[in-house]
Structure 1
Amino acid sequence: MYQLLDPSRFVVFITGATSGFGAAAARRYVAAGGKVIATGRRKERLVELQQELGADNCHIIELDVRDRAAIDAAIAALPEPFAGINIVLANAGLALGLQPAAETDITDWETMIATNVTGLTYTVRALLPGLIARGGGHIVTLGSVAGDYPYPGGSVYGATKAFVKQFALNLRSDVQGKNVRVTNIEPGLTETEFSLVRFKGDEGKAAKPYEGTTAMNAEDIAESIFWTTTLPAHVNVNRLQLMATTQAFGPFDIYRG
């Protein structure tokens, strides 16, 4: 069995920490003795998370990853106990709508691209030089099985996750020799607020994908993220794709008109 690294050395910067994978990962790292910088747009959620985990363990920043200047300012203002970041969990992202491409609200596409693609690149670009200067670290990006497998209504969401996958793979080439690991986590069916956001608060529609089945949960994904970052330093997990046991691959869709 692998010998885990000392988790007390972990200082983890997490985007999208107000719910789902981000919040679960914050809890997992703090439970193991690490420190977390939890960022997100919903300040009240961040305050609740900090109260739960303790201010000594969890520093919170109200942050929209689409705002590059705000990311830079937040990093520059980090208090000393949280300044030595060695893990970046670029988790912030979302899906909006499930309409066919010709019927979708174009602003949904714009929001997904701005968050899932542009916000990701802002986050990594701002934090990567510090990792290198401190002797190394680990960047974890959040992809999706949608980055590999298409489905109706997922055109732009899937495209953004394909970008995340390729960005992470290329990033590995860029940091060769810098002692920086890069992992893309690619979940499938997972029951979080994901569908509630996708369907803009419609609880009935949001519950449909999980009816009559057993999906993964946020803690499952957080544990997988934690595992990849606690392997020996000479081991890099390039991609980790996870699906619920109840989820598999469908047949080709053939139109017969």
Structure 2
Amino acid sequence: MAIVLVTGATAGFGRAIAQRLVSEGHRVIGTGRRKARLDALRETLGEAFLPLELDMTDRTGIRSLPDTLPPEWREVAVLINNAGLALGVGKAQEADIDDWETMIDTNVSGMVEMTRAFLPGMVQRNAGYVLTIGSIAGSYPYVGGNVYGATKAFVAQFMRNLRTDLLGTAVRVTNIEPGMCGGSEFSAVRLRDEEKGRDVYKGTDPLTPEDIAATISWLVALPPHMNVNAIEMMPVCQAAGGLAVDRRRD
């Protein structure tokens, strides 16, 4: 079984992924800013889970990570870039520029730093897997999506180029692009309001963090010669179709 590193393991997708993969026999390093939550997960999952307090905007910490892990945890075979966030739903002309910078620092800069930190080891061993949680927002625009959608479009193109650079190696790359997904802190963080965050999913049957974890479990178990470039997934209550038109009458 593999050593897996999951960023953003304190809640939502990351926690569900860590729980699923440990249950299947993998050893999982879980990173996040909230140490107490990571420690609680360690209590639940046992010695197969290594909690690691880390902020995705800490470039120095990320760059030093491969050499500062305990020796028996250093050969990370699967990197799951899960940490990310959306902030605000305002139109671009109304948005908070600090929210934009935070999304770019986490969703883009943190993700590429983490990938670059562990990629050379995978290439040297000629084995490994990089999975990143993108979003359908990287393909389909919506009002208020602006910079969040742009960060996920970056993720999609980065992952395509990454696989191209890795041609000739056995290192695999997959971008996972979920649509509406409940059961996480995503909307509460975005709206800065837990009740409004819950309201986003009223009357829907959205994807869940467990659905994402099951998808990753399937991907990790695939034969090593098979690369799934990207997976776009939505609940059946959601569709990408429909173009908005502003009709003005003279």
TM-score by length of 1: 0.94
Q: Does 1:15 align with 2:7?
A: yes
Alignment of 1:18-33 (within 5 A): 18-33=10-25
8 Å contact from structure 2 (residues 65, 117) kept in 1: no
1:254 to 223, 233, 245: 245
Superposition RMSD in Å: 1.0
Equivalent residue number for residue 121 of structure 2? 130
Equivalent residue number for residue 96 of structure 1? 87
Equivalent residue number for residue 217 of structure 1? 208
| Alpha-carbon shift at residue 248 of structure 1 (Å) | 1.1
8 Å contact from structure 1 (residues 13, 85) kept in 2: yes
Distance 1:250 1:174 in 2: 33
Stretch deviating more after TM superposition (242-251 or 210-219): 242-251
| Alpha-carbon shift at residue 249 of structure 1 (Å) | 2.5
TM-score by length of 2: 0.96
Q: Which runs of 5+ in 1 are unaligned?
A: 1-8
8 Å contact from structure 1 (residues 19, 193) kept in 2: yes
2:147 to 132, 150, 156: 156
8 Å contact from structure 1 (residues 61, 74) kept in 2: no
Taking every aligned residue pair, what percent have the same amino acid on both sides? 50
Distance 2:199 2:141 in 1: 19
Distance 2:242 2:215 in 1: 28
1:170 to 138, 147, 161: 161
AA matched with 1:103: E
| Alpha-carbon shift at residue 250 of structure 1 (Å) | 4.2
Aligned residues: 247
2:54 to 59, 63, 69: 63
